[in-house]
Structure 1
Amino acid sequence: MSAKTEQEPAQEASKDERVAASWRLPLTLRGVARYRLGLTGGCLVAFFVLFSFVGPMVYQSNQNDVDTLNALLEPSSDHLLGTDAQGFDVLGRLMKGGQISLQIGFFAALIATLIGTLYGAAAGLAGGKTDAVMMRFVDILMAVPFLFVALIVSTRFNPSVLSLSLVLGLFSWLVPARLVRSEVLSLRTRDYVAAAKSMGAGKWRLVLTHLIPNALGVVIVNITFQVADTILAVATLGFLGFGLSYPETDWGGQLSSGVNYLLSGYWWLIYPVGLCLVGLVLAFNLVGEALRDVVDKRRTV
């Protein structure tokens, strides 16, 4: 057999891998900006990031000491969104709560994505009985009420940004695992995977070098939805009274405190934090939808 004939499978596999890699990282501003809703979501995410992390540098307020003498003040030039029942500036409180929501959202999403991607890729590559057992384990965990477990953990340990990120991340990897496993089942039949196997590549080399990189489109799209779901989960825990402890705060806790004054006319304790929560979750969902459209289009090319 000639050298040219031996190189043909490798060349075809290389070409196939380049085609797969053409949509590997669809996270380009040009690709997302073609979708108006995606561009809107991206602008909203950027706004909330600047609002939460840069805002406190511009609009400084006391967020550590209770000031009951200035409690429940109406919006004014001194307090643009008034004060709450503890005398904290509401606008400054919103900025601090936004920091917590974004930090936990991103940390938990990264943890869940890392675990779920490795687990799903390993299950998809293994196939057969191993894959069946691994995915039945995922099904069992998905049957466990997440909120119930989170509440138990929150009562046993003092909630913090790190602990909530770990808890939410460790119970949110199941969806990414299923998505990546489904993608790997399709990718493992490609020519470049067969070529890598024939050259002696081990399973973990196949997973890390060939399968996961070509499944990154699905993985990155899922991250945006993971962040949105985590922000909602943090708000739910805070609203139920199992969120962060003073002086830390989150939007769910602020919303829970404001509900008590809803009928008293203190609208600034309810509507601003509610709009922030809805706006941030909606922003990440819009970005995720746009990215999913970009990935789907490139996969059909």
Structure 2
Amino acid sequence: MERRHAIDQTRNSITAASLSALSRRQRADLSGRTDGVIGVLFAGKWCGPCEEFVQLLRRCYAQVRDSGEQFEVVFVSADKDREDFEHLSADMPWWRIDFDDFPSLNKMRCLFKIQDIPCLSLVDMASGQTIISNACDLVREHPDGRGFPWRPRSYEQLMVDGLLDKDGQLCDYSRIQGAFKALYFAANWCPPCKAFTPELREMAGRICSRGLKFEVILVSSDRTAESFEQHRGAAPWLAVPYAQAGRRRELAERFGVQGIPSLLVLDQHDRLVCRNARAHVAEDPLAQC
């Protein structure tokens, strides 16, 4: 029942908003739309990267629609005045929520939990479920729309390409089947990560010394290959290769990781058993539980 309510709320929030088609200058209602994908675009003229992203999205939008995909976009403005709103949306070939429709604008921002812009959330209109909470990086990587709508792969599919071992060699994920796994989302440039990594290394050592099968998998947010290698040198765990940025991003998306450092634990059957394991490390540094 709760899932059904969430689906209905997502769809109704999009379709109940006051929309205007810039290309036709007329009111429209998407309440009858039950197929295809709707992208909810959050952006503002005052945000430098937003204008550049809007141009990329225009290209992607045209390519996807030309390929026969059912794709609509709804613009949710973060502008403070109508002049900026009109400037940014003037050439948009898609829908927009009216600048004066404050209830709908605020509801959309809250529903999608927007923290940064630009943000493009992709919603499956058949189910009302969010496909991707923020597809901006995917649009930047694939402005031609290749792979749209970029539906997330399962955890099992994401592990097919293997992991780097402590020697930098690619190993098969089956090597750690039957073990508990801790997915560690972190970066060498992040001060809180640098402080937490030694704590995690010590705890992992204590757990393994008791004969338990326990593996840490680094999912890095490092910005350079050099930084990534320095990170692995400080804690030579298994790691998702630096070159596989899309895969690292998909893992963060799949588990809803919003910030770093973040640590979550999977059991021997790859089921999520602890989403905020970082707090448990702080509360139980001797791994007594």
TM over 0.5: no
Structure with max Cα Rg: 1
> TM-score, with normalisation over the residues of structure 2?
0.24
> TM-score, with normalisation over the residues of structure 1?
0.23
Higher helix fraction (1 or 2): 1
**Which structure exhibits the higher relative contact order, with contacts defined as CA atoms closer than 8 Å and separated by 6 or more residues?**
1
